[in-house]
Amino acid sequence: MSKTERTLTPSLTKKLWLVFILIIVLMGASYIFITGYFANKYNQATTQKLNAKVANHLIEEKFQNASPFLEDGSINKELFGDLMHDMMAVNRGIEVYLLGNDGEIQYSVVLSPSENEAAEKVSLTPIQSFIADEGENYILGDDPRNPGEQRIFSAAPFDINGKKGFIYIILAGEEFQMISQNMLAQYFVKLGIGATLLTMFFAALLGILSIWFLTKNLRLMTKTVRKFQEGDLTARIENPEKSDIEVFAKSFNEMADTITGNIDKMQSVDTLRRELIANVSHDLRTPLAIMKGYIETLQIKKDTLTEAEKQEYLQITNDNVDKLSGQINQLFEYSKLEAEQVTPVKEPFSITELSHDLIAKFKVIADKKEITLELNNPEENCMVYADVSLVERALQNLIENALKYTAPKGKVTMSLNKKNKNIEICIADTGTGIPLSEQPYIFDRYKQVNKNSKKQGYGLGLAIVKKIMDLHETTITVLSKPKEGSSFIFNLPAY
């Protein structure tokens, strides 16, 4: 078992876990951040609304009896000193500013002095909108001690002895900010730890369950693949269409089928090859033994044999050489076809002409055997699209067989018929016929129906015909009845 396969499921589970934890952490962090952000805003809005009238109260309370300006127009520092005392007692977080009519800072009361350089002016726009809607809305104004930053505030206009301006109160001053940030940080830590732990616990529980469910199918598949790998060729993934990874499950099953199919094919090829070797050696040995016998006789009895006898023996030897070379050629031809070394060169040609030529060629043999050999439907010129030499080879084999298995006075007929887009070619004889039980096997290699028949050839003739049909993507059918005869029929595309 290879290492990659062994770790197939665990590594996937690991990745799922990693993604899961990452999601939890990200979700936790964004949850805390979002809650913190909105809690802070909510808090500020509430504080501002609650303290919206603080500036008005200050003007009403403090400036009723005493003016913020002295007679010479300078600031009444005593009044503001008094104000500072009040602030110290009530709210250390606020900062009070006396603004001129253009927003310039004329005086400020701040409890904790800052290192930052205070601004000289603040923007009047937020102050004016605050006054206009009477502090109903949440508005941020400039923080004089941290220019560029914005704070919640309360503001009110004043007009004292012709001096106009604003009282501008920063409600969440620096001290407030410091305390609030501190609190927020503590809250974040507590909330963060609590929420993360709780989420982690439930997520882990859910995670274990869902990962177990999600990978259940995968585990089953891995088990099947392993079983197959260990040699159980029948192992298949059950109900692949219900699997989470349907393509994988189906592909595996198909691959397993192909592999087992190939193994079966290889085994049967091997059996047939062994059969062939046995048949070939037997069939080659017979003519060789005959030849050897006659040659030896010619050598030993060369002085006593008459000239006529010598000629006869030489003729027999010659016939056997022909037979042997014929058999070897057939074998060679078949192995080339089987090894798929032959590619058909298709072209249009006249099957009528070819049939005429073949009939003429076999006429001599047919006449010798007193068999009538004829072509049916010769008037029409039928054109087909096929490999002419391969078709010729197939027809030769079929006519040879027909003549071989037909007794004298019999008849062999070749007919051509147009059927739709095809030309149907039929070679019929009135010969011995083939038993029904044998018919399915005659196109198999080396199958000889009657092993003891003297007429039997190599058992390759029809196998070659079948291979040629395969190359033309067509099939050949046999209709045969013992003692009545056989017909071999196939179609070729008409041109």
The binding site for ligand ADP (CB under 6 A) comprises 401-402, 405, 429, 431-434, 442, 448-450, 456-463, 486
41 Cβ contact partners less than 8 Å away, ≥ 6 residues apart: 138
- Minimum CB distance to ligand ADP smaller for 156 or for 462: 462
- Please, what is the end-to-end C-alpha distance for the chain in angstroms? 57
- Minimum CB distance to ligand ADP smaller for 166 or for 458: 458
Q: Which residue is nearest to ligand ADP (CB)?
A: 457
- Minimum CB distance to ligand ADP smaller for 466 or for 472: 466
- Under the phi-then-psi rule, with left for phi > 0, alpha for psi from -120 to 50, and beta for the rest, what region is 433? left
CB of 479 to ligand ADP, least distance (A): 11
- Minimum CB distance to ligand ADP smaller for 235 or for 426: 426
Name the 3-class secondary structure at 454: coil
For β-strands 411-419 and 422-429, DSSP reports them as antiparallel
What does the angle CA 466 – CA 469 – CA 473 come to, to the nearest 5 degrees? 135
- Minimum CB distance to ligand ADP smaller for 98 or for 403: 403
- Minimum CB distance to ligand ADP smaller for 68 or for 485: 485
Label each residue of 79-140 as H, E or C.
Answer: HHHHHHHHHHHHCCCCEEEEEECCCEEEEEECCCCCCCCCCCECCCHHHHHHHHCCCCCCCE
CB of 471 to ligand ADP, least distance (A): 17
CB of 367 to ligand ADP, least distance (A): 19
CB of 267 to ligand ADP, least distance (A): 23
CB contact at 8 A, 187 and 37 = no
Distances (CA, A) of 234 to 76, 223, 246, 270, 301: 103, 13, 19, 22, 67
CB of 405 to ligand ADP, least distance (A): 3
Q: Tell me the CB-side half-sphere exposure of residue 312, using CA atoms within 13 A.
A: 6
CB of 370 to ligand ADP, least distance (A): 17
Element (H, E) at 167: strand 163-170
Adjacent-strand bridge partners of 143: none
- Minimum CB distance to ligand ADP smaller for 87 or for 434: 434
CB of 460 to ligand ADP, least distance (A): 6
